[in-house]
Structure 1
Amino acid sequence: MPTVSPISPFDPRQVPICQIDHDLPAVASSLLSPQALKARFLEPPDWQPEVVRESFLSGRPPAQAAVLVPIVMRGPQACSPTVLLTQRAAHMKTHSSQIAFPGGKVDPDDANIQATALREAQEEVGLQARHVQVIGELPTYVTGTSFWVTPVIGLVSPDCQLQANRDEVDDIFEVPLSFLMNPANHQRHAMDWQGQQRHWFSMPYLENRFNARGDVKAIERFIWGATAGMLRNLYRFLAANPTRREKT
């Protein structure tokens, strides 16, 4: 059973699924290339984020934060991009052991929100800024722990060298972007907790990892909560119809 943070004293895997959006289309692979992703942020569509705040708030003072959504350009011509994710250390005070993007609170010395995301990524997983091309941001997402999080989208060189900071991160892994941008893999959950209705998305991913002997071990990566919510917003952004440009 996973360790959970004080804001979620339950195992989210055990909460029933109330809906899976099989009727929604996946984002076409042609829209997931580096060129297409950059073009989408240069000319964003008319869209609205689906998840802007979590249904339960802790009452803590709000704190500005940023995460890097690192899209690693895997495969020939970067045709098989992945999203780099972390599993937070079990001893963390908030969101312990959960799947997360690299990120954290804004530091007064940070030049801007993108600088926060890049600094945190280097501190947590050793990702150097020279390997990241920032292409845009998504709207702020408010977590139940009162973090006002700006997701910063970055294209990451596949030859980057990573090293987990064990004070904050237990593991680093990647999930195909095509998997995350397919609503058939998005599960909706809902439950009553302390007199309030809580609801969230999850995107469980089964990773096949090889050990030193070459044996394969299947690991379930249960992506849920804030991370899944921000990925759902990325899906809505990429799946939205392009903005039509007026003829002159």
Structure 2
Amino acid sequence: MRFDGDIAAIASRLLLHPEPMPDAHDLVPDFQLQELDGRPPVPAAVLIALVRRPMGYTVLYTERATGLRKHSGQVAFPGGRIDPEDHDASYAALREANEEIALDPQDAEVLGFMPYYYTGTNYFITPVVAVVEPSGPFIPNPGEVDAVFEVPVETLMAPKSYGHYRLHFQGQVRQSWQIDHGGHRIWGITANLTRRFRDHVLTGEAGHAP
């Protein structure tokens, strides 16, 4: 499946504004990994960056630093918590991308937002979709990121790119999508968000909302 570069069509499948957080009792996590003990969900934002390259569009990923306490070595989109001083989810996602990989916010045009994703670790994630025309290289912050890599959009659109990752946890089997590319394994939240991005935004096969 080829990507025709119709950015206007992609934007039309996105939300104009981030979804507000529902009452915590109405949130259903992707799968439960820990007891939340009544703690309020943590607002967070990730950047799904469509990077314009001479050979076509790619999607940007990071490999988290192995020295991090949580999710070390895993593949993730740039992003993190929404701080109180952040204007909105897009500001937070671009701020985090700048801190993690030196992505200049001026190089990004935010197209819109995907519906929220609530994780079993109590994060309320707003995916921010943007077109990025990099004015310089992406440089990993060694304290947060070990590597930056990009996956061609055509690869993410191809159904054959998706397998299943199975995790045994507390006697149960948890499952997510899995994408292998260039020696990197994308699984868990990032793979699930990638699949939603494919189905609902890139191809529009599944409508406008998950």
TM-score normalized by the length of structure 2: 0.83
Asked whether 1:236 is paired with 2:203, we answer no
Asked whether 1:41 is paired with 2:7, we answer no
What is the letter of the counterpart of residue 49 of structure 2?
A: P
Q: Mind listing any 5+ residue stretches in structure 1 that lack a counterpart?
A: 1-25, 44-51, 207-219, 244-248
Structure 1 segments of 4+ aligned residues over 6 angstroms from their partners: none
Choose the corresponding residue for 1:107, options 83, 86, 93.
83
1:54-73 mapped onto 2 (5 Å cutoff): 54-60=30-36, 61=39, 62-73=41-52
Aligned pairs, number: 192
Q: Mind listing any 5+ residue stretches in structure 2 that lack a counterpart?
A: 17-27
How far the C-alpha of 1:242 sits from its partner, in A, is 9.2
Gap change, CA 1:113 and 1:183, over 3 Å in 2: same
RMSD over aligned CA atoms reads: 2.2
**1:196-242 residue CA offsets vs partner (Å, 9 max, x unmatched):** 33111100012xxxxxxxxxxxxx11011111010011112133359
SS of 1:81 mapped into structure 2: strand
What is the letter of the counterpart of residue 73 of structure 2?
A: S
Question: Whole-Å Cα distance in 1 between the matches of residues 33 and 169 of structure 2?
Answer: 12
| 2:100–2:141 CA contact under 8 A, matched in 1 | yes
Instruction: Report what 1:161 is aligned to.
Output: 137
Question: Whole-Å Cα distance in 1 between the matches of residues 79 and 131 of structure 2?
Answer: 16
Question: Whole-Å Cα distance in 1 between the matches of residues 93 and 116 of structure 2?
Answer: 13
TM-score normalized by the length of structure 1: 0.71
**1:154-182 residue CA offsets vs partner (Å, 9 max, x unmatched):** 10004333221111001111110111122
Instruction: Report what 1:179 is aligned to.
Output: 155
Question: Whole-Å Cα distance in 2 between the matches of residues 136 and 153 of structure 1?
Answer: 6
Instruction: Report what 1:223 is aligned to.
Output: 186
| 2:118–2:125 CA contact under 8 A, matched in 1 | yes
Gap change, CA 1:85 and 1:241, over 3 Å in 2: closer
SS of 2:73 mapped into structure 1: coil
How far the C-alpha of 1:92 sits from its partner, in A, is 1.2
Instruction: Report what 1:91 is aligned to.
Output: 67
1:140-151 mapped onto 2 (5 Å cutoff): 140-151=116-127
| 1:131–1:160 CA contact under 8 A, matched in 2 | no
Q: Which moved more, 1:128-137 or 1:156-165?
A: 156-165
What is the letter of the counterpart of residue 54 of structure 2?
A: G
What is the letter of the counterpart of residue 157 of structure 2?
A: M
1:184-199 mapped onto 2 (5 Å cutoff): 184-199=160-175
Gap change, CA 1:39 and 1:205, over 3 Å in 2: same
What is the letter of the counterpart of residue 104 of structure 2?
A: Q
| 1:87–1:169 CA contact under 8 A, matched in 2 | yes
Asked whether 1:136 is paired with 2:112, we answer yes
| 2:62–2:145 CA contact under 8 A, matched in 1 | yes
